[in-house]
Amino acid sequence: MYKIFKFPKDFLWGAATSAHQVEGSNHNDWTEWEKENAARLSKKNEGKYPPENFISGRACDHYSRYEEDFDLAKKLGHNTHRFSIEWSRIEPEEGKFSELEIEHYRSVIRALRARGLEPFVTLWHWTMPTWFVEIGAFEKRANIEYFARFCQRIVKKFSGEVTFWITINEPEIYAGNSYLKGVWPPQNKNFISYIKVLTNLIKSHKNIYEIIKKYDSKAQIGITKNNIYFEAYQNKIGNRILKKFIDWWWNFYFLNRIKKYQDFIGLNHYFHNRIKNFKFNQNENKKISDMGWELYPESIYYVLRSLKRYNQPIYITENGLADAEDKNREWFIKESLKNIHKAISEGVDVRGYLYWSLLDNFEWDKGFWPRFGLVEINYRTLERRIRPSAWEYKKIIEANSIEIS
């Protein structure tokens, strides 16, 4: 017995990428950090992966092969695509903007539109020009104006060609890994810096929202927010108290501060976190991804339901798993979509689903070994191969529904 779950008319279906992870041949703070830390990261993994695994290099060469990749997205039935603009390409030196690179991204936008894919454009997906880092990056309030200037340049150039703008990708992940844990560049493990960076990113988003509206009042603007389903095990009071606090700080604080400055919420969702006996991450891990992350598709329902309070349209801008053998991806997509449909049926205004990622890519400090893509990349030859799960996803898109027993 099968049940059909129908999605709303004009629902957006697609996948996402980020510039640094797929383009190749970048020069930014991350490429510098990779060179300095590749040997250390290889040793940390007991030599399982060689140092070159941790250097992005040419990545997927998406920079020069984007049309080929968008042909694959169209072939797979997608009608939307999220990508990011690499700030370090546009402004490699302070105040010196590359019109050639601006035109490259205009060509990317037009290539998407020519194939019937709605662009979701991310203005900042973590990487920065080296000059910006040298003057303190987002730790200094005064530096906000440099980021705003870059965004203004881009928005002014592409006004009328882009409807959906994402200002900042996962601010809490960036700030947490770079300044709280100190494992990402600049590896400044400092709680005061962590708070400063979050505060300055909130201010940055508000500034950019107003800049975009100045050039295009009809533009739709949001951030992408990595929200986690924190579950209080057995609903015990201590677990509930911890859940309430961490929900407030991780899931809602940033959104609360910008709620008058967004037209939609971009949800990135990967994690369930069971709080048990005052301890976090007490998951059962019945199924896990290649990254060791628990596969718990039910969690997206709870996260979506919690976002209903904002009364904003929601686009799921990232949701996926590392699965080199493609053994769990079809199941994960279908089960996630079933739970998304459940949230929609309860009045949550979800308008799109973008799987992470269209392509296998460079996964930050993990390098190339995690395989998130609907499309497999042979990093030696750069050959693209569509995975079986991607064809199953296409069937869902074409039907605008899922059929599950």
Burial of 47 (0-12, 13-18, 19+ CB in 10 A): exposed
Question: Who's near 205: CB < 8 A, 6+ residues apart?
Answer: 167, 168, 171, 223, 258, 261, 262
Alpha-carbon distance of 19 to 186, in angstroms, equals 19
Enumerate the β-bridge partners of residue 386: 375
Q: Which two tokens stand for residue 240?
A: 């509930």
Catalytic residue among 170, 172, 294, 330: 170
Q: Which two tokens stand for residue 163?
A: 């409807």
Please report, to the nearest 10 degrees, the dihedral formed by the alpha carbons of residues 405, 331, 19, 50 taken in order. 180
Q: At what angle do helices 144-158 and 191-215 cross, to 10 degrees?
A: 30
170 as an active site residue: the answer is yes
Contact 112, 67 (CB under 8 A): no
Contact 271, 293 (CB under 8 A): yes
User: Could you give the residue numbers annotated as active site?
Assistant: 170
